[in-house]
Amino acid sequence: QKEVEQNSGPLSVPEGAIASLNCTYSDRVSQSFFWYRQYSGKSPELIMSIYSNGDKEDGRFTAQLNKASQYVSLLIRDSQPSDSATYLCAVVAGNQFYFGTGTSLTVIP
């Protein structure tokens, strides 16, 4: 059973702070890693993808991948109230997506 684990939260950060979201996975041969954002009542929206060890930055978002530790994280800098959502980690293994249950983030104005 391939597993993707996320802290369900809720995680609360003040506006302007850095939000750190973490995800661990069980399958060592996982190939691709994604972060999705899901607003309440909406469908998941892709925000970041990462395929190799290290950091990948896109605007206020940074994804970090450490395959040896089977760990992927998402940093949101200068957090805004509009970032309040559930963040889903997704891991691809064997050409199939496995999703975590998500971390709920609240950015407090």
Question: Which residues contribute to the site for another protein (CB under 8 A)?
Answer: 31-32, 34, 36, 42-46, 49, 88, 90, 92, 95-102
Least spacing, CB of residue 24 vs another protein, in Å? 15
- Of 20 and 32, the one with the shorter C-beta distance to another protein is 32
**E strand map for 1-109:** 4-6, 11-14, 19-25, 32-38, 45-50, 54-58, 61-66, 71-76, 85-93, 96-99, 103-108
Q: What is the DSSP letter of 26?
A: S
Least spacing, CB of residue 65 vs another protein, in Å? 15
- Of 25 and 34, the one with the shorter C-beta distance to another protein is 34
Least spacing, CB of residue 73 vs another protein, in Å? 19
- Of 79 and 91, the one with the shorter C-beta distance to another protein is 91
In angstroms, the Cα distances linking 65 to 2, 43, 69, 104 are 18, 25, 9, 21
- Of 63 and 88, the one with the shorter C-beta distance to another protein is 88
Least spacing, CB of residue 99 vs another protein, in Å? 4
Q: Which residue has the tokens 């290290």?
A: 54
